[in-house]
Structure 1
Amino acid sequence: MSIREKAYIAGVFEHPTRRADGISTAQLHAEVALGALADAGLSLKDVDGYFCGAEAPGLGGMTMAEYIGLTNLRHIDSTETGGSSYLLHVGHAAQAVAAGHCNVALVTLADRPVAAAAGVGLSGVDSSQRPDLQFTSMVPRAPVHAYAMVARRHMHEFGTTPEQLAWVRVAASHHAQHNPHAIRREVVSVDDVLASPLVSDPLRRLDCCVVSDGGGAVVVSRPEIARALARPRVKIIGAGSGVKHSNGGKIDLTYSAAVWSGPKAFEEAGVKPSDISYASLYDSFTITVIVQLEDLGFCKKGEGGKFVMDGNLISGIGRLPFNTDGGGLCNNHPGNKGGMTKIIEAVRQCRGEAHPAVQVKNHEIVLAHGTGGSLAGYHAAGTLILQAE
């Protein structure tokens, strides 16, 4: 069953905090839920579907439904695929709405790894039980090491350069300067990126995303409900997901699961990559963006480095503005799961509500995409295509 135009995004909210001292994870979930519902003009009693990830405390969705006060639930989903979870949640919410399982679905993300000094792990995910751990425990497992391998392989196969990687951070910084909540608002140059300390060859400090507390929420509703609200209407016209395996180490590091999630979303939406005027792309590291641009069809495989050069991702300058809130590289990366904020900024762009300095002129059709897991191993991808009505 296609979800095209059968569900709308009625409300979004991004928590302004970047360090949640004195605020519990449950409270963050509640605050973003209320923020998104207020944005939509709806209330808790209107919600009959709820979606969250493993970072939700207690028994996940059940605990949070009681804490938030969701007393009319008919549908619940706690899919967990890391940073891509919330792209999948919105797609699943659209399917549930289209099938009549619920009328108004709420999706929340909230976590506080900075305040809790929890590092870069994922809350609620027990990595100690991973069946592959006995084979990988002797290898450094910090995310940057894995993505450095992806970057180095991309350079070897296609001639991608550190300067091209740097252009991704440059574009993000040009956008972050207009976001008062962004952690890193300073505009940087290619030379600045290349002069930053080497973290894991070839990735430097400014090739890496920030870590933050916070969160966000999305409200998905039936079309007739969205049309009755006093907000710009955003249709969900396509969604796709995919999973890539590490295959016991026999893995091609040059592509991601976006090669499956992207075509599914585009086919359902009935549009092409050339129809997209803005893209929210997962930017855990600069190489992540380059790989996704290729896999989603914005350029040919191996040409992502050339595609991002000379400000091609900067709003008002380039062909494909991306992450106009500053993204994970500069704005925030709540709970080390950046998919939620990719959806929120895509909705802002589609509504015409992004900051005036970065709002794209033609914002009818936009894309949001996220990955969860590691591009150097098994991971999942989620793609959404949205259209302004």
Structure 2
Amino acid sequence: MVSELRGATAIVGVAESDLGEVAPGTTPADLMGQASIRALADAGLTVSDVDGLFAAGTQMMMGSLSLGEYLGINARYSDGTNTGGSSFEAHLHHAEAAIAAGLCDVALIAYGSTQRSLLRSGGTIPQEQPNPYEEPYAPMMPISAYALAASRHMHQFGTTREDLATVAVAAREWAVMNPKAWSRKPTTVEEILAAPMISDPLSVKDCCLLTDGGGAIVVTSAERARDLAKEPVYVLGSGEAQSHLHISSMPDFTVTSAVQSGQRAFEAAGLTVEDVDVVELYDAFTINTLLFLEDLGFCKKGEAGRFVREVGIGPKGGLPVNTNGGGLSYCHPGMYGLLLLVEAVRQIRGESGDRQVADCDVALVNGNGGFLSSQCTTILGSAATL
């Protein structure tokens, strides 16, 4: 059933913070604040307009409180839901409901991380509590969890390392056209395959970047959005789902809960995969892209390897995927999900420069958290979709 909230709220401002490697002494709150000010300016709003705060992070326990303190906002609605990298798609879903219920009028969703600077200086980022069923095997988390899923997919469906490498090459092809991307040097399947193995079958080139950075989006009602600085990008449908926390408890290593989150989002939006013009997937590892293409319905289970080779997901392919270069080549500051939304909005607005997808009215975003644990799918649209 199409959601009664379809098109009732809109994203009106988006921005990144500084990305890559930030100045010494910069904090995650600094990057959240920087991105927030930029996103509000993009919308033609100010800090005083915000009354709803949404934030999560790996370096702060109380993200929304930190954001409010940093910007001097005494919010009347706050949400610190943390489901890993999918948190921000969930925040958008929650903001949609909160605005419709009158709990807030202007919601700010923000994130910041200095993980690259922290780790390079010898610091550590807190991890989940140990799992006694996994710890004896000394897995290199999170990559070993994703390597396990990749191995199973290869065994069950005949997926190859070349298929995985094709995902990384496509991401780089998009990144070459993105002046903000961290890795812009063209690459090949052969270079990906020759890269050092980290956790079989994933090499270092199958893994996301390690960067600092953050982002922010501003959300309000469709009615208010009409009077703001930029063309609104409407929330057409959202869906959330989760299946486990630890990879050893995943019911099927080749099927994620994006099956459920995607179905819920498409149903709420009243759309199908055929309506989607651009796809932004959480590509922390190359296997992610294959799994999500299947689970969201862009191809059948087990056929994503063939899909990325024959249909194509790069600039010359049949389905534009991760048009900013993704977590593999653009930026990955620990929790990447908010930056997926930033790129989707820019594509619908027609603001993506050389990498702009023609006639882009519908964008699908899929956030992933934990070890393929939490999925949240969002479908965004231009005014033409209402």
Select 2:7's aligned residue among 2, 5, 8.
5
Aligned to 1:22: 25
* Secondary structure of residue in 1 paired with 2:340: helix
Amino acid corresponding to residue 367 of structure 2 in structure 1: G
Aligned to 1:234: 233
Displacement of 1:274 in angstroms is 1.2
Aligned to 1:337: 335
Aligned to 1:46: 49
Displacement of 1:243 in angstroms is 0.2
1:113-132 mapped onto 2 (5 Å cutoff): 113-117=115-119, 127-128=128-129
Displacement of 1:63 in angstroms is 3.1
* Secondary structure of residue in 2 paired with 1:343: helix
Amino acid corresponding to residue 28 of structure 2 in structure 1: T
Q: So what's the TM-score if we normalise by structure 1?
A: 0.93
Displacement of 1:58 in angstroms is 6.2
CA contact (8 A) 2:118 2:124 kept: no
Q: How many equivalent residue pairs?
A: 378
Give, in whole Å, the separation in 1 of the partners of 2:251 and 2:237: 29
Aligned to 1:270: 270
Q: Deviations over 1:310-355 (max 9, x none)?
A: 571112x211101111110001111x11101111101111111112
* Secondary structure of residue in 1 paired with 2:367: strand
* Secondary structure of residue in 1 paired with 2:118: coil
CA contact (8 A) 2:294 2:303 kept: yes
Amino acid corresponding to residue 127 of structure 1 in structure 2: E
CA contact (8 A) 2:242 2:375 kept: yes
Give, in whole Å, the separation in 1 of the partners of 2:121 and 2:257: 26
Give, in whole Å, the separation in 2 of the partners of 1:26 and 1:270: 38
Aligned to 2:216: 217
User: Does 2:283 align with 1:280?
Assistant: no
Q: 1:241 to 1:122 in 2, by over 3 A?
A: farther
Displacement of 1:34 in angstroms is 0.4
Amino acid corresponding to residue 366 of structure 2 in structure 1: H
Aligned to 1:368: 365
Q: 1:49 to 1:168 in 2, by over 3 A?
A: same
Aligned to 2:164: 165
Q: 1:22 to 1:88 in 2, by over 3 A?
A: same
Aligned to 1:186: 185
Identical-residue share of aligned pairs (%): 42
RMSD: 2.0
Aligned to 1:353: 351
CA contact (8 A) 1:61 1:77 kept: yes
* Secondary structure of residue in 2 paired with 1:184: coil
Q: List alignment gaps of at least 5 residues for structure 1.
A: none
Q: 1:214 to 1:225 in 2, by over 3 A?
A: same
* Secondary structure of residue in 2 paired with 1:138: helix
* Secondary structure of residue in 2 paired with 1:8: strand
* Secondary structure of residue in 1 paired with 2:368: strand
CA contact (8 A) 1:171 1:311 kept: no
Q: Deviations over 1:326-385 (max 9, x none)?
A: 110001111x11101111101111111112x2111121111111110003xxx1101100
Give, in whole Å, the separation in 1 of the partners of 2:98 and 2:300: 35
Aligned to 1:111: 113
User: Does 2:137 align with 1:136?
Assistant: no
Displacement of 1:232 in angstroms is 1.6
Give, in whole Å, the separation in 2 of the partners of 1:206 and 1:117: 19
Give, in whole Å, the separation in 1 of the partners of 2:190 and 2:17: 33
Displacement of 1:57 in angstroms is 3.5
Aligned to 2:243: 244
CA contact (8 A) 2:311 2:319 kept: no
CA contact (8 A) 2:53 2:67 kept: no
Amino acid corresponding to residue 364 of structure 1 in structure 2: D
User: Does 2:78 align with 1:76?
Assistant: yes
Aligned to 1:98: 100
Give, in whole Å, the separation in 2 of the partners of 1:218 and 1:56: 20
Aligned to 2:294: 294
Amino acid corresponding to residue 18 of structure 2 in structure 1: P
Aligned to 2:375: 381
Give, in whole Å, the separation in 2 of the partners of 1:121 and 1:279: 35
CA contact (8 A) 1:88 1:382 kept: yes
Displacement of 1:135 in angstroms is 2.5
* Secondary structure of residue in 1 paired with 2:117: coil
Aligned to 1:36: 39
Give, in whole Å, the separation in 1 of the partners of 2:171 and 2:121: 23
Displacement of 1:24 in angstroms is 1.4
Q: 1:371 to 1:155 in 2, by over 3 A?
A: same
Q: 1:364 to 1:115 in 2, by over 3 A?
A: same
Q: 1:119 to 1:286 in 2, by over 3 A?
A: farther
CA contact (8 A) 1:342 1:368 kept: yes
Give, in whole Å, the separation in 1 of the partners of 2:87 and 2:168: 24
Give, in whole Å, the separation in 1 of the partners of 2:269 and 2:120: 39
Q: Deviations over 1:153-193 (max 9, x none)?
A: 10111111111111111111111112222111111111121
Amino acid corresponding to residue 202 of structure 1 in structure 2: P
Give, in whole Å, the separation in 2 of the partners of 1:385 and 1:249: 29
Displacement of 1:25 in angstroms is 1.6
Q: After the TM superposition, which of the residue ranges 255-264 and 13-22 deviates more from structure 2? A: 13-22
